[in-house]
Amino acid sequence: MNVAAASGISRASGPPGGANREAAGLAVSLENLVYTIGGNRILDGLSGTIVQGEFVTILGPNGAGKSTLLKLLLGLLKPDSGSVRVFGKQPRRGNSDIGYVPQHHVLEIDNALRAQDVVGFGLDGNRWGIALPSRQRGQRIERALADVSARHLKNEPIGHLSGGEQQRILIAQALISNPRMLLLDEPFSNLDLAHEREIVGQISRLARERNITVLLVSHDINPLLTVTNRVLFLSNGRAALGLPDEVINSQTLSRLYNAPVEVARLSGRIFVLGVEI
């Protein structure tokens, strides 16, 4: 199923600044993508494209394939059939063009490991042995910490940091390779509203400044409405891709869920009634 055709998307819904989608470079291209778990087609014929510089929020219920899609883009999983392309190539493990922040969990690890050590893993965490210190490596760690306003945390034991602080460190780790794409899997889990807004602002600013493509998995579109270019909604193997208003409406979500869904808007916020996202 082609996601664009499925959701009645306007071709004008594209990257920031109203750029022409056909003129922009493709960051992600999916064609008839199928992925099955336990006999259940989580992704069933998913097709669509995302251009460089877009900020795409991925929504859907638990088990809809949101995290699975990110892992396919990372080369951690292989599709049953269909095509996946990232910057025109097949996905591969350890691609430095992609920064990845997995689902957040509290880092309760050896207190001797400092925040700057965790950030440094983004440069050499896939290598054997201990990384040798160098001026260039230290500068890159400093810059990544500065990107998320966390330079003051660099010598703090990672296990002593709050959930919001740890999440900033993980985002810095994803940014240290200067990626062209950033994949974030529910980065707001366990964060309060203030930290959530702070992280949204930081990610959005960096994406605009560096033309980074962002794919962010979330259960709530509201914190992201002002920064999202398009929404990819997954449910029951079906998908819709488009502007938030084109996708998050009663007609489209009722089709995706195969059940009646009501969408209400109040004071600039979107509420989905009858199902869980």
Residue 22 has pLDDT above 60, yes or no: no
pLDDT mean over 52-66? 96
CATH assignment of 3-97+179-273, among 3.50.50.60, 3.40.640.10, 3.40.50.300, 2.30.40.10: 3.40.50.300
**pLDDT by residue (tens digit) across 194-226?**
888 888 999 999 999 999 999 999 999 999 999
d(CA 188, CA 218): 8
pLDDT of residue 84: 97
Q: What is the mean pLDDT of the chain?
A: 86
Domain with CATH 3.40.50.300 in the chain: 3-97+179-273
Which pLDDT band holds residue 6 (cuts at 50, 70, 90)?
Answer: very low
Q: How far apart are CA 246 and CA 231, in angstroms?
A: 9
Between the two ends of the chain, the Cα-to-Cα distance in Å is 21
Q: Comparing 8 with 149, which gets the higher pLDDT?
A: 149
The reported pLDDT for the residue numbered 136 is 86
112-138: pLDDT as tens digits: 789 999 999 888 765 444 555 688 889
Residue 145 has pLDDT above 90, yes or no: yes
Q: At 14, is the pLDDT very low, low, confident or very high (cuts 50, 70, 90)? A: very low
